[in-house]
Amino acid sequence: MILNVFLKSDSAWALEDAEVEREMTGLAGLYGNKGGVFMKFKLHGQKFCIVNSHFHAHDEGLSYRIQDYKEVNNGREEFCYVSSDYIFWLGDLNFRIQEKDEYSAQKIYRMIQDKQLAALYQQDQLKIAKDSGKIFRGYQEASIKFAPTFKLVVDSG
């Protein structure tokens, strides 16, 4: 897992205390294919923490994704500034549509074509888990105005 952070050269003088750490959650915490990478630094006197994470995949993996979040967040809390001014969290979180039986790939595709993104968003596992307080407490997310991404079965059209 990798995290690249770029800074304009005319602000390089204002960068202080840049450090990187990771929290591995893949296969008994020994493999870095799942987990998170954190970077903390000060810029113009402001404290930043940036997290890139990759959570468990597959339809049945919701409980593992939530556990991945908790482990990565614990690592972030230990590593990053307690009083960070800004925390940015990004990555491949792998959350899915909640009601998989009710929402087939064909139905989801039709809903996307019909611009029913708000209805799909109500079934987003990430939104549901966040709203229930299980993950990302206190974080703000910009409104989602794009279609969900998904994999297609080979030769399915």
- 3 state DSSP class of 34: strand
DSSP state of 143: P
Sketch out the chain's domains with CATH numbers. 1-94 (3.60.10.10), 97-157 (no CATH)
Of 151, 154, 155, 57, the residue nearest 105 (C-alpha): 151
Angstrom distance (rounded) from CA 86 to CA 143: 19
- 3 state DSSP class of 46: strand
Angstrom distance (rounded) from CA 67 to CA 98: 17
User: Is there a contact between 45 and 81 (Cβ–Cβ < 8 Å)?
Assistant: no
Say which residues have a Cβ less than 8 Å from residue 61's Cβ, sequence separation at least 6.
55, 94
Mean pLDDT by runs of 10 across the 157 residues of the chain is 92 96 78 87 97 92 95 94 92 88 84 92 94 95 84 62
State pLDDT tens for residues 31-56. Answer: 668 999 999 999 999 999 999 999 99
> Rounded to the nearest 5°, which phi and psi values hold at 26?
-75, 140
Q: Which two tokens mark 52?
A: 């890139």
For the whole prediction, is pTM greater than 0.95?
no
| Confidence (pLDDT) at 43 | 97
What percent of the chain lies above the pLDDT cut of 90? 67
The Cβ of residue 107 has, within 10 Å, a number of other Cβ atoms equal to 13
